[in-house]
Structure 1
């Protein structure tokens, strides 16, 4: 964590930031190793050019120490003003960056405690660091990817006609934990027309024979890293030929994106490769979301694989490749893999079948 803090300090200085303040969330865990609970009592990492301190409520000190926090821990008691403590550590800093997810009430309290300082958003400073994974992080993502692959491989245990999406989703959720995750982040089981809603979760709809089913699932493992993978299923019969033709286009687009993505190309160019294939097949207006998102300690983080993002991919960047096609009122399909840029190519972390899985 010391190296990460040093890099955050250097990057802050390069961007004209005198102090960086980070409250509970993925940024704090990334920089300190401490997954602090977002409580009403203030916990705040203070990073200045002189060093780093973690301000915590006195009753949370043991939790911070147990997490292995190596920097000085400054505690405050019930009658203390924690914002005054943070202001003292910040000193005479002119520009103070706060994490993007800091509660508004805390931003206002800090502004009051630091009347001479300019508060700016600091999320881009930390996200620039988090976007490039080190070897340990990549291994944690590999482990998460293998765990979610094992869940997909078991889908035949639960997904069958006559069961509701909710019933199947509950079984999947239990398996996500059984196969190596510490928590379930989301379960999407979109059968028939529900598959046309990319963020549909589960419902009491009964799955019919021969209906396409989109299953998008993910969790977080003990190392704090996420999985996310989508596959397409059918049980008890054959789907409409129109769906089969659509899915073949989607498969070609996703494969082309996987083969193209590598260090040195832009995030938006990966999106464009698959989007053109889908558009040429007549489904352009039915690919209604970006191609992908970065992944790490959060399911969605930088870099985003979308038009307009000219970020050049680098070794260590991890992200999803998940084009989709959605026909409202009928069906939808999405194929999603998590990938990591290597020195000269791409490592794919999900390796279950990308064809329609017949159960």
Structure 2
């Protein structure tokens, strides 16, 4: 991405800001900050920000950060519009806003603490503006789509290799470490999220953390993993059987899960409420008498973050649009023996969807 791309995104945001009557938007969510500026996709940790972006209706935008990031900011942003704070970041940003902005300032309420808001807001008219940048990010640009094709391709390559390391006696944690090494050795900068490797009953825990449980002969293993390649994430799940005698209940649940996924993908197209995709998968499970074992949403958007809008759940009537990339990942979970999940990333096209 070049500077012109980030500027074009800010211009698109400015138009939306004018419609809402905002003179400025204080961007504090890390992925949104990066999407609009190219500056620091990650914050250092949950309670420490790498910086903030102030996008103004008149085009005089500011990148706010601390001295540690000054050189990085200079590479991306005109130095005369880099604001360096030290110590009391919200208080100093408050002073900048009062000096430079006249009118209502939008802020991302879900991405700031109450303490930060209390310090940044005195003397200002501030209004919640959650979702403005996410609404832009949900439709991927052509270059983003190509980057995500590459990320998904690496995940497919990984999943073809995984059966070779599913050897009885090896632990979940050892498998997870091998997966991370594979991703990094093939160009990924990091994991998209902490790898999920669940053996036996642990596979019934959708967000299980790998431990020291060993694989055994003739057992199920759920593997849900992703990588960040060229900034964009992948996310795929497969469920494997270790051994040559898969149990009937495993085979049946796997077939039911794949069929539910296929039914949801079959109806997905521009104009469809995402809730309808969820309902299609659930209807298949209901027809099989196993819907009680499907316990989560059908999927989620993915891009710079692993979990982005839209959530494919029964309460979300957001409409599918060309350029969206979402996961489709139905699952069935049985605490007594394990679980099944099968996940694809799909791109919404002009007349349907394409599995990436």
TM-score using structure 1 length: 0.90
Q: 1:79 to 1:303 in 2, by over 3 A?
A: closer
How far off is 1:293 after superposition? 0.3
Point out where structure 2 has 5 or more consecutive residues left out of the alignment: 1-5
Runs (4+) of structure 1 exceeding 6 A deviation are none
Deviation at 1:99, TM superposition (A): 5.5
SS at match of 1:11: helix
Structure 1 residues 96 and 164, CA gap change in structure 2 (3 angstroms): same
Deviation at 1:213, TM superposition (A): 0.8
Out of 249, 257, 261, the residue aligned to residue 256 of structure 2 is: 249
- 1:339 counterpart residue number: 346
Of residues 89, 94, 112, the one that matches 1:102 is: 112
Q: Is residue 209 of structure 1 aligned with residue 209 of structure 2?
A: no
1:162-199 residue CA offsets vs partner (Å, 9 max, x unmatched): 11111111111111212231101221111111111111
Contact persistence 2:31–2:41 (CA under 8 A): no
Alignment check: 8 A CA contact 1:253 1:273 kept: yes
Q: Structure 1 pair 131/286, CA: closer, same or farther in 2 (3 Å)?
A: same
Instruction: Provide the aligned length of Structure 1 versus Structure 2.
Output: 344
After TM superposition, the structure 1 = structure 2 runs for residues 195-274 of structure 1, keeping only pairs within 5 Å, are: 195-221=203-229, 223-274=230-281
Q: Is the 8 A contact 2:24 2:101 kept in 1?
A: no
Checking the alignment, whether the CA contact within 8 Å between 1:320 and 1:338 is kept in structure 2 is yes
Q: Which moved more, 1:87-96 or 1:318-327?
A: 87-96
**Deviates most, 71-80 or 29-38:** 71-80
Higher helix share: 2
Q: 2:36 maps to which residue?
A: 31
Q: Is 1:15 aligned with 2:20?
A: yes
Distance 1:233 1:324, change over 3 A: same
Structure 1 stretches lacking a partner, 5+ long: 350-359
CA displacement, residues 229-276 of structure 1 (integer Å, 9 cap, x when unaligned): 001111223222012111111111111111211111111011111110
TM-score by length of 2: 0.91
**Cα gap change, 1:77/1:253 in structure 2, threshold over 3 Å: closer, same or farther?**
closer
Which whole-Å deviations, capped at 9, do the CAs of 1:319-348 have from their partners, x for residues lacking one? 000000001121100010011111112121
Aligned CA RMSD, in angstroms, stands at 2.0
Mapped to 2, the partners of 1:24 and 1:310 lie a distance apart of: 25
Cα distance per residue 1:197-239 (max 9 Å; x no partner): 1111201111111111111001211x31100000111122322
